[in-house]
Amino acid sequence: MPVYNYYYLVDGKFNPGTLTVHGPTIPVQVDVPSALAQAMNVTGQQIPQGIPGRALIDTGASITAVDAGIISQLGVPPVSRARVLTPSGEAEQDVFPATISFPGTPSQELNSLGWSGVNFVSKV
């Protein structure tokens, strides 16, 4: 597994103050998945630009969630619904196709589903 620590380095040295200010986050970009982009291209639809943001690193999370505003900007339709557990209890959320990449890292992109309505990725 690649290690990513550039975000927390100042003058080449780890700076815990950065972690205090930004929290355990990593830069990400949310895009329309390539298969959906190809289908949009075939039908003459404009493919939306990816949206940069920061993702909260939550080692206890069992899902990947994307802010509803980010998904709305991409203009992708939901593909299903899923029951999720939140601190407030159970909720049902729309499931959307999304690709999450990690700019500036050797990490591969994730072709995943994001649940809207959860503030996981915030626009920069």
**Amino acid code (one letter) for 116:** S
Domains and CATH numbers, the chain: 29-123 (2.40.70)
Share of the chain above pLDDT 70, in %: 77
C-alpha distances in Å from residue 57, one per residue of 26, 36, 62, 65, 121: 7, 27, 12, 11, 10
CA angle 89, 90, 92 (to 5 degrees): 145
Residues 102, 82, 22, 4, Cα dihedral to 10°: -30
Higher per-residue pLDDT: 122 or 74: 74
Q: Model pTM greater than 0.75?
A: no
pLDDT, tens digit (0-9, with 9 covering 90-100), for 72-93: 899 888 888 888 887 888 888 8
Tokens 């999450």, residue located: 100
